[in-house]
């Protein structure tokens, strides 16, 4: 129940060719990090995996379904089972945190429940539970425009955790957080994927975070897969090639080697 891409290519409406002939097979329960320079195609790849972008060539199979051959209703049900943490949290500034988190289950709830929850939150404890894991439990009834960028990113993450997707995708989920918090958050994503046995794919700007937390690392360059291997086998020369255009390999750089052996304690309830 993982996913597979075969010969997937995608050209954006402005003519930019974002993905070239991508082959990728990920089994259920695998945890994969995507690394690569900005503009390499990581976001496009994640959006294809979220069934949000339709490739113009190749075969896509997600959670055992082909999203672009079935009915619109089947596609909608599939989308409800996939959770994507966006890089820029798509949350209206005036919405309250509780509503923003509960919105994660709109794809599963019947319409009457979505409407009723807007008038009076139906599952505030569920939302509080996910927020508490991200250390935001006490901000439940605040408005999202009162939060910092990093806090908003954690609210967006709490929404996807609340959605409980079978395929968990994250597009630079820690880009607005400081190194220590990034470490905790990436560890939490991995812990969630292991606990629920779901597939996790996250793109990360900081390569060291990817190498520390994910068993499998994929390097994306110019819309193609440059390497795809266990994290332990990634060599510095490959990373240099991956980031040749940026003139250096980006690192979060807070955790020393000791932290890798014993990750910091997490709030996993």
Q: Does 103 sit near other proteins (CB under 8 A)? A: yes
Q: Which stretch binds other proteins (CB under 8 A): 33-41, 91-99, 146-154, 178-186?
A: 91-99
Convert residues 139-168 into a mask of x (bound to other proteins by CB under 8 A) and - (unbound). ------------------------x-----
- Min dist CB 118 to other proteins, Å, is 6
Beta bridge partners of 61: 4
Does the protein bind other proteins through residue 50 (CB under 8 A)? yes
CB of 251 to other proteins, least distance (A): 29
Looking at residues 57 to 76 of the shown chain, list those that interact with other proteins (rule: CB under 8 A): 67-68, 72, 75-76
Query: What's the CA gap between 186 and 147, in Å, rounded?
Result: 20
88 or 229: CB nearest other proteins: 88
Phi and psi at 105, nearest 5°, equal -105, 15
Which token pair is 191? 């812990």
Q: Residue 111 interacts with other proteins (CB under 8 A)?
A: yes
Question: Given the complex with other proteins, which of 166 and 208 has the nearer CB atom?
Answer: 166
d(CA 206, CA 84): 19
Q: How many CA atoms lie within 13 A of 8 on its CB side?
A: 28
Question: Which CB sits closer to other proteins, 203 or 210?
Answer: 203
Query: Cα–Cα distance between 138 and 186 in angstroms, integer?
Result: 21
Other beta carbons within 10 Å of 43: 20
Take residue 135 and report the two structure tokens written for it.
């250390």
Site string for other proteins, 238-257 (x = CB under 8 A): --------------------
In whole angstroms, give the CA distance from residue 226 to residue 64.
Answer: 26
Distance CA 41, CA 269 (A): 35
Binding interface with other proteins (CB under 8 A):
14-16, 50-54, 67-68, 72, 75-84, 86, 88, 90-95, 99, 103-104, 106-109, 111, 114-115, 118, 163
């Amino acid at each position: 129940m993982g996913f597979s891409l075969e010969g997937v290519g995608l050209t954006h409406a402005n003519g930019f060719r974002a993905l070239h002939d991508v082959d990728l097979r990920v089994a259920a329960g695998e945890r994969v990090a995507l690394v690569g320079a900005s503009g390499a195609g990581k976001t496009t790849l994640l959006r294809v995996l979220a069934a949000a972008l339709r490739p113009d060539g190749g075969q896509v199979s997600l959670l055992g379904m082909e999203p672009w051959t079935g009915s619109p209703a089947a596609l909608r049900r599939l989308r409800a089972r996939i959770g994507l943490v966006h890089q820029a949290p798509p949350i209206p500034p005036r919405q309250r945190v509780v509503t923003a988190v509960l919105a994660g289950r709109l794809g599963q709830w019947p319409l009457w429940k979505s409407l009723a929850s807007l008038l009076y939150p139906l599952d505030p404890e569920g939302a509080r539970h996910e927020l508490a894991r991200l250390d935001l439990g006490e901000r439940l009834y605040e408005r999202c425009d009162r939060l910092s960028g990093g806090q908003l990113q954690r609210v967006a993450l709490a929404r996807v955790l609340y959605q409980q997707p079978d395929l968990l995708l994250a597009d630079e989920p820690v880009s607005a957080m400081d190194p220590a918090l990034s470490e905790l958050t990436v560890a939490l994503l991995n812990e969630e994927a292991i606990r629920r046995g779901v597939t996790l794919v996250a793109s990360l700007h900081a390569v060291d975070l990817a190498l520390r937390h994910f068993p499998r690392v994929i390097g994306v360059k110019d819309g193609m897969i440059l390497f795809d291997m266990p994290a332990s086998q990634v060599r510095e020369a490959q990373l240099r090639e991956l980031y040749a255009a940026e003139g250096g390999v980006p690192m979060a750089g807070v955790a020393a080697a000791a932290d890798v052996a014993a990750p910091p304690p997490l709030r996993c309830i």
